[in-house]
Amino acid sequence: MSQVLITGATGLVGGHLLRMLINTPQVSAIAAPTRRPLTDIVGVYNPHDPQLTDALAQVTDPVDIVFCCLGTTRREAGSKAAFIHADYTLVVDTALTGRRLGAQHMVVVSAMGANAHSPFFYNRVKGEMEEALIAQNWPRLTIARPSMLLGDRTTRRVNETLFAPLFRLLPGNWKSIDARDVARAMLAEEHKKA
């Protein structure tokens, strides 16, 4: 049986993944610290605080695996600093919490094109986050790099609305992907042998 820590459970990928985890018999306990409370989920430990940091600190039971689905856009975050906090600092904090609680495997959502040396701010921050996680020397680290995510969001993202039809036409890995499929792939990683 697995004990799970998941962050980003109120978001597009994380919401799907949380529901899948709840329905997975091999999962015995789920801790889902969030910035806002989960309103329609039962049987999940859900400490919450607007900055997430205090909620992460409240998770004290051991975990086997960490799923991190945190992510936003610079526009949604409101500033470059707020974006870095959400997509770098909180992801690294999630990883450190998981390590402190004994996790041996981390599965994290990054982005297609993530590169710490990218001239593009979004891709550079995602790449720096990946490098920070790699430097933690996880026994097992899985990084998902989806292209544009499709699905019903609670907030409207203008650029995604405009470009989603075009991304459906792109070849290979650049083609847009349904957030539910990303969540399903992340869950499948839990069942793979190292």
CB 66 within 8 A of CB 92: no
CB 177 within 8 A of CB 145: no
Q: What's the number of domains the chain is made of? A: 1
**Backbone CA torsion sign across 7, 13, 18, 23:** negative
pTM: 0.89
pLDDT of the chain, 194 residues: tens digit per residue? 699 999 999 999 999 999 999 999 999 999 999 999 998 888 999 999 998 999 999 999 999 999 999 998 888 888 999 999 999 999 999 999 999 999 999 999 999 999 999 999 999 999 999 999 999 999 999 999 998 787 664 555 555 555 556 555 555 665 677 899 999 999 999 877 65
CATH code of residue 69: 3.40.50.720
Domain range spanning residue 145?
Answer: 2-191
